[in-house]
Amino acid sequence: MDPATVQTITHSLMDISHNLRYVGAGSAISALGGVGTGIGIVFAAFIVSFARQPAMEKRLLPVTWLAFALAEAMGLFALLFAFIFMYT
């Protein structure tokens, strides 16, 4: 194989590798849809629980905020991975 062909193949492989970074980042960002759904489910469950038993608000609210924080943390991790895929 002549050097020009090897160089062309090497450049095409580098381009594919560079473009696959964006595919990985897009896949990581797609997790944010699940995070939004999870947060919606958490607060919907809180509203239903509070509507059924308003006296339990003091026990339900901390658990709701904990579930919200955990779901939001997953979203931040997905965003972190997307940035890692794009910029490393």
Return the pLDDT at 13. Answer: 66
The range of the structural domain enclosing residue 63 comes to: 3-87
* Torsion angles phi and psi, residue 2, rounded to 5: -80, 160
**Domain tally, the chain:** 1
Query: Does the structure show a pLDDT above 80 at 81?
Result: yes
What average pLDDT does the segment 15-20 reach? 77
Extract the tokens encoding 26.
């897009």
CATH of the domain at 63: 1.20.20.10
The mean pLDDT of the chain is 87
The pTM for the full model equals 0.74
The helices-and-strands tally (H runs, E runs) of the chain is: 3, 0
pLDDT tens readout for residues 44-67: 999 999 999 999 999 999 999 999
Return the pLDDT at 40. Answer: 95
d(C-alpha 57, C-alpha 50), whole Å: 6
Residue 17: pLDDT band by 50, 70, 90 thresholds? confident
